[in-house]
């Protein structure tokens, strides 16, 4: 039976070490500490030149062909889809001394994922991300490391000929150069621990596909990462200064080549490393240590699929087992009867019971707790997790979904709303102008909490008021109360409080069953009482959708109602979306009505709840948020939603604006009926 024990090192173990190194005061040039020493004694131009030279010297595509009998690759081991090889090139005789032979290692394999997923793993720029990835690749063999310096992007000069060639092919390239360190547990018994100071160069080439050419002929998207040793004397920070405890790794170059296979969901990964030999010197790792470390670096490359997978689980919203009980009497995967004495376990994702043969223990990475934790997954949920699109999911998105604090330079939300309404009022006419005027009245009236406040208003709007009066109100009396950040609550921010019933397979666009809230009867009765489905002319709702889309910088916004079997769009900023209906199980709002809190889904293409629904796939939706529309009894009868083809963060001001617009939509519904 699988075990819930995990030998993966906790990320918090290395976080403490990295934070200590980051918070250490810089060394000073003088005794009084008036001036601090630089973290690095090499300027950015020199770093870029060295990194470029190493990248040019690594010929990944020529490695397989260089397999002559005198230097044939020797199979080392296989791990999943990866295989590692090693070889030792013949020693060269110099004029003064006989050099040691060059040791080379190679690891190659394929991962079923998007190229961007591997890029997010390997292309790190912070101490925490660097330590998290190194701990995942090398496990207990890795102690801690630091990102000493990242060269500013404007200081990196790419090869002009390559840039010109990529522009002709309508491709884009980004390059990053950084200096990092890593400390490892000794690779030889009774030897000291090892430290590597290295220069890293990452280059990501995104090729735009040509629809006129065969997919096999299109240029590949690729990512190249090269690592080369630096003299530890060139660094002042991020390293162990006690040479009696560590040996320095030296003369070692390594690199990754990652390519998206055309017409496939797989990427090809090649890792290559070599130690150039040399005589043993005090303070430096011996040749035997270097060869052993090189082999372990290649072994670490075979663990890339594990890191990719654990981040996929971190992108999901797990079920809160304490919030509901599993009631299924048969295994949801194989239909085995689950009697009282039958050994069964609950899946951490769907929340249902499964039999002893239909689950496995996986590892999940979480940025909030900064650790890797074991989770139990049923086979159906596993298939859906593997089916998602994680190309846009960054490591920072693995954890609690939350509203962000406003940037310092962001204008007040009431000013943004006022400008939009003023523009609409001046440019519109006829029925649309009447809708704008009505929306302004609703928004202003929300701020008048009692009769005295209403009477204190300098201007009272009515249908007979002139446009100038509406414009004056927008200039001074449209006050948007900012919701405190701690009150910007979201539904299912950490865990989900209801189960999900998964289909048999993720193929053919299959979707989970629609969840049913506990107050479904009361909710449907409230919809019937409100007569919201009878709305014919809801131009005010269309206007509110336009304002919501502008506030969140989204392409689509809709007002929806979810009935027993379907979702209906009552208003939208897009004319072709109005009065559109979808089966309930194919809509986003089936989950929005499960709670009275706003629902924010930053990556629905990765979420098992939404990845296959028609409401997402029809427009390639990659961001969704829905704010509830409630009746007088606070029962959810609809939702004000925003969607877009790219992901977003929601700020405190945007949350406040959406809450106000949803409240205005409630007033529109009540006034219409």
The verdict on 50 and 96 lying in the same domain is: yes
Q: What's the structural domain count of the chain?
A: 4
Give me the mean pLDDT over the 410-426 stretch.
78
Whether residue 577 is predicted with pLDDT greater than 60 in this model: the reply is yes
615 in any annotated domain = yes
**What are the tens digits of pLDDT across the range 192-202?**
899 999 999 99
**What are the tens digits of pLDDT across the range 318-332?**
999 999 999 999 999
Our measurement of the distance from residue 278's CA atom to the centroid of its chain's CA atoms, rounded to an integer in Å, reads 43
84 in any annotated domain = yes
Supply the pLDDT for residue 70.
63
Supply the pLDDT for residue 2.
46
**What are the tens digits of pLDDT across the range 470-523?**
777 777 666 778 899 999 999 999 999 999 999 998 888 899 999 999 999 999
Domain boundary among 252, 267, 302: 302
Give me the mean pLDDT over the 106-131 stretch.
94
The verdict on 345 and 291 lying in the same domain is: no
Supply the pLDDT for residue 117.
96
28 in any annotated domain = no
* CATH value at residue 508: 3.30.450.40
27 in any annotated domain = no
11 in any annotated domain = no
The verdict on 500 and 459 lying in the same domain is: no
Supply the pLDDT for residue 670.
84
The verdict on 511 and 563 lying in the same domain is: yes
- Pick from 351, 307, 282: which is nearest to 500 by CA? 351
* CATH value at residue 120: 3.30.530.20
The answer to whether 629 touches 583, Cβ cutoff 8 Å, is no
Supply the pLDDT for residue 522.
95
- Pick from 386, 114, 389: which is nearest to 261 by CA? 114
**What are the tens digits of pLDDT across the range 587-598?**
999 999 999 999
**Host domain of residue 567:** 488-672
The answer to whether 369 touches 15, Cβ cutoff 8 Å, is no
The verdict on 228 and 348 lying in the same domain is: no
The bridge status of strand 193-207 relative to strand 246-248 is parallel
The verdict on 260 and 390 lying in the same domain is: no
265 to 149, 379, 381: CA distances (angstroms)? 34, 20, 19
Which of 314-323, 375-384, 415-424 is predicted least confidently? Answer: 415-424
The answer to whether 569 touches 558, Cβ cutoff 8 Å, is yes
More confident residue, 591 or 68: 591
What percentage of the chain reaches a pLDDT higher than 70? 83
The verdict on 327 and 277 lying in the same domain is: no
Task: Say whether 68 sits in a helix, a strand or coil.
Answer: coil
The verdict on 65 and 158 lying in the same domain is: yes
In the structure, what pLDDT confidence band is assigned to residue 158 with cuts at 50, 70 and 90? low
Give me the mean pLDDT over the 115-127 stretch.
94
Whether residue 26 is predicted with pLDDT greater than 50 in this model: the reply is no
CA distance 90 to 87: 10
Whether residue 157 is predicted with pLDDT greater than 70 in this model: the reply is no
Give me the mean pLDDT over the 153-167 stretch.
58
With the CA atoms of 11, 14, 15 and 17 taken in that order, what torsion angle do they form, in degrees rounded to the nearest 10? 170
157 in any annotated domain = yes
**Paired strand residues for 556:** 643
The verdict on 461 and 499 lying in the same domain is: no
In the structure, what pLDDT confidence band is assigned to residue 455 with cuts at 50, 70 and 90? low
In the structure, what pLDDT confidence band is assigned to residue 249 with cuts at 50, 70 and 90? very high
* CATH value at residue 358: 3.30.40.10
Supply the pLDDT for residue 587.
96
Domain boundary among 371, 397, 423: 397
Supply the pLDDT for residue 539.
86
Whether residue 350 is predicted with pLDDT greater than 90 in this model: the reply is yes
Which of 95-104, 216-225, 367-376, 510-519 is predicted least confidently? Answer: 95-104
221 in any annotated domain = yes
Whether residue 7 is predicted with pLDDT greater than 80 in this model: the reply is no
- Pick from 157, 163, 229: which is nearest to 196 by CA? 229
In the structure, what pLDDT confidence band is assigned to residue 622 with cuts at 50, 70 and 90? very high
627 in any annotated domain = yes
In the structure, what pLDDT confidence band is assigned to residue 112 with cuts at 50, 70 and 90? very high
The verdict on 426 and 468 lying in the same domain is: yes
More confident residue, 468 or 242: 468
Domain boundary among 454, 476, 498: 476
> N- to C-terminal Cα distance for the chain?
60
Claim: this prediction has a pTM higher than 0.75: yes
Whether residue 609 is predicted with pLDDT greater than 60 in this model: the reply is yes
The verdict on 493 and 468 lying in the same domain is: no
The verdict on 130 and 259 lying in the same domain is: yes
Supply the pLDDT for residue 11.
37
């Amino acid at each position: 039976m699988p075990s819930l024990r995990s030998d993966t090192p906790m990320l918090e173990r290395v976080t403490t070490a990295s934070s200590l190194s980051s918070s250490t005061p810089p060394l000073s040039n003088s005794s009084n500490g008036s001036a601090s020493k630089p973290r690095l004694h090499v300027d950015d131009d020199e770093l870029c030149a060295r990194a470029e030279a190493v990248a040019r010297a690594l010929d990944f595509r020529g490695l397989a062909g260089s397999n002559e009998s005198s230097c044939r690759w020797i199979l080392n081991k296989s791990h999943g889809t990866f295989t590692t090889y090693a070889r030792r090139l013949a020693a060269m005789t110099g004029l003064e001394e006989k050099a040691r032979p060059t040791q080379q290692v190679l690891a190659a394999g394929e991962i079923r994922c998007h190229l961007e997923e591997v890029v997010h793993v390997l292309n790190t720029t912070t101490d925490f991300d660097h330590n998290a990835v190194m701990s995942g690749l090398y496990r207990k063999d890795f102690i801690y490391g630091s990102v000493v310096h990242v060269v500013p992007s404007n200081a990196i000069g790419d090869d002009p000929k390559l840039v010109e060639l990529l522009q002709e092919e309508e491709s884009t390239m980004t390059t990053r150069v950084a200096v990092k360190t890593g400390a490892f547990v000794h690779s030889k018994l009774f030897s000291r621990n090892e430290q590597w100071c290295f220069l890293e160069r990452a280059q990501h080439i995104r090729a735009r596909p040509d629809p006129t050419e065969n997919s096999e002929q299109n240029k590949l998207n690729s990512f190249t990462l090269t690592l080369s040793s630096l003299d530890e004397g060139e660094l002042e920070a991020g390293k162990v200064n006690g040479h009696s405890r560590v040996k320095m790794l030296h003369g070692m170059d390594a690199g990754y080549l990652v390519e998206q296979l055309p017409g496939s969901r797989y990427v090809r990964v090649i890792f290559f490393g070599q130690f150039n030999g040399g005589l043993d010197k005090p303070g430096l790792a011996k040749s035997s240590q270097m060869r052993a470390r090189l082999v372990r670096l290649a072994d670490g490359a075979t663990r890339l699929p594990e890191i990719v997978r654990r981040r996929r689980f971190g992108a999901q919203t797990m079920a809160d087992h304490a919030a509901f009980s599993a009631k299924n009497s048969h295994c949801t995967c194989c239909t085995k009867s689950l009697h009282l004495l039958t050994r069964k376990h609950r899946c951490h994702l769907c929340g249902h019971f499964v039999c002893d043969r239909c689950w496995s223990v996986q590892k999940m990475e979480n940025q909030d707790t900064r650790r890797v934790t074991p989770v139990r997954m049923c086979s159906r949920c596993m298939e859906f997790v593997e089916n998602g699109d994680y190309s846009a999911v960054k490591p920072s998105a693995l954890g609690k979904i939350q509203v962000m604090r406003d940037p310092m330079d962001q204008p007040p939300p009431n000013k943004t709303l006022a400008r939009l309404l003023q523009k609409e009022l001046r440019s519109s006419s006829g029925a649309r102008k009447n809708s704008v005027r009505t929306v302004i009245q609703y928004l202003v009236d929300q701020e008048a909490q009692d009769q005295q406040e209403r009477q204190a208003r300098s201007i009272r709007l009515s249908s007979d008021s002139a446009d100038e009066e509406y414009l004056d109100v927008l200039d001074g009396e449209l006050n948007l109360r900012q919701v405190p950040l701690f009150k910007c609550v979201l539904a299912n921010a950490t865990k989900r409080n209801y189960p999900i019933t998964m289909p048999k397979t993720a193929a053919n666009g299959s979707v989970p069953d629609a969840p049913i809230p506990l107050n479904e009867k009361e909710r449907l009765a409230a919809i019937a009482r409100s007569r919201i489905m009878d709305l014919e002319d809801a131009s005010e709702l269309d206007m509110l959708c336009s304002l919501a889309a502008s506030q969140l910088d989204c392409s689509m916004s809709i007002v929806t109602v979810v009935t027993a079997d379907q979702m209906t769009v009552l208003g939208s900023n897009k004319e072709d979306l109005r009065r559109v209906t979808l089966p309930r199980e194919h809509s986003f709002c089936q989950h929005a009505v499960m709670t009275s809190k706003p629902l924010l889904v930053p990556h629905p293409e990765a979420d098992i709840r939404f990845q296959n629904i028609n409401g997402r796939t029809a427009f390639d939706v990659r961001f969704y948020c829905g704010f509830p529309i409630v009746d007088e009894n606070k029962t959810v009868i609809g939702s004000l939603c925003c969607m877009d083809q790219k992901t977003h963060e929601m700020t405190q001001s945007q949350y406040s604006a959406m809450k106000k617009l949803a409240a205005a939509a409630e007033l529109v519904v009540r006034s219409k009926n």
